[in-house]
Amino acid sequence: MQRIVVLAGGIGGARFLRGLRSAVPDAEITVVGNTGDDIHLFGLKVCPDLDTVMYTLGGGIHEEQGWGRADETFAVKEELAAYGVGPEWFGLGDRDFATHIVRTQMISAGYPLSAVTEALCARWQPGVRLLPMTDDRVETHVLIDDPDAGDAGRDEDGGDGTAGRKAVHFQEYWVRLRASVDAHAVVPVGADAAKPAPGVLEAVAAADTILFPPSNPVVSVGTILAVPGIREAIADAGVPVVGLSPIVGNAPVRGMADKVLAAVGVETTAAAVAAHYGSGLLDGWLVDTADADTVGAVEDAGIRCRAVPLLMRDEETTAEMARQALALAEEVRA
> Taking CB under 8 A as the criterion, which residues in 119-148 touch a second copy?
119-120, 122-123
* Residue 115 touching a second copy (CB under 8 A): no
Question: Binding residue for a second copy (CB under 8 A) from 63, 83, 147, 148?
Answer: 83
Q: Are 257 and 225 in contact (CB under 8 A)?
A: no
The CB-of-125 to a second copy minimum distance in angstroms stands at: 12
The one-character DSSP state at 197 is P
- How far apart, in whole angstroms, are the C-alpha atoms of residue 315 and residue 189? 35
| Integer CA distances (angstroms), 51 to 62, 69, 92, 106, in order | 12, 9, 12, 16
Question: Binding residue for a second copy (CB under 8 A) from 2, 59, 65, 85?
Answer: 85
- How far apart, in whole angstroms, are the C-alpha atoms of residue 119 and residue 140? 25
Phi, psi of 294, rounded to the nearest 5 degrees: -95, -5
In the bound state with a second copy, the residue whose beta carbon lies nearer, of 117 and 220, is 117
> Which listed range, 9-17, 102-110, 223-231, 272-280, lies at the site for a second copy (CB under 8 A)?
102-110
* Residue 104 touching a second copy (CB under 8 A): yes
The CB-of-93 to a second copy minimum distance in angstroms stands at: 8
* Residue 44 touching a second copy (CB under 8 A): yes
* Residue 86 touching a second copy (CB under 8 A): no
Asked whether residue 94 is marked as a ligand-binding residue, the answer is: no
Stated as kind and residue range, the H or E segment containing 4 is: strand 3-8
> Which listed range, 93-101, 184-192, 246-254, 325-333, lies at the site for a second copy (CB under 8 A)?
93-101
Q: Are 184 and 161 in contact (CB under 8 A)?
A: yes
In order, the DSSP letters of 82-118 are HTT-S--SS---HHHHHHHHHHHHHHHTT--HHHHHH
Which residues of this protein are in contact with a second copy, per CB under 8 A? Answer: 42-44, 72-73, 75-80, 82-85, 93-95, 97-99, 101-102, 104-105, 108, 119-120, 122-123
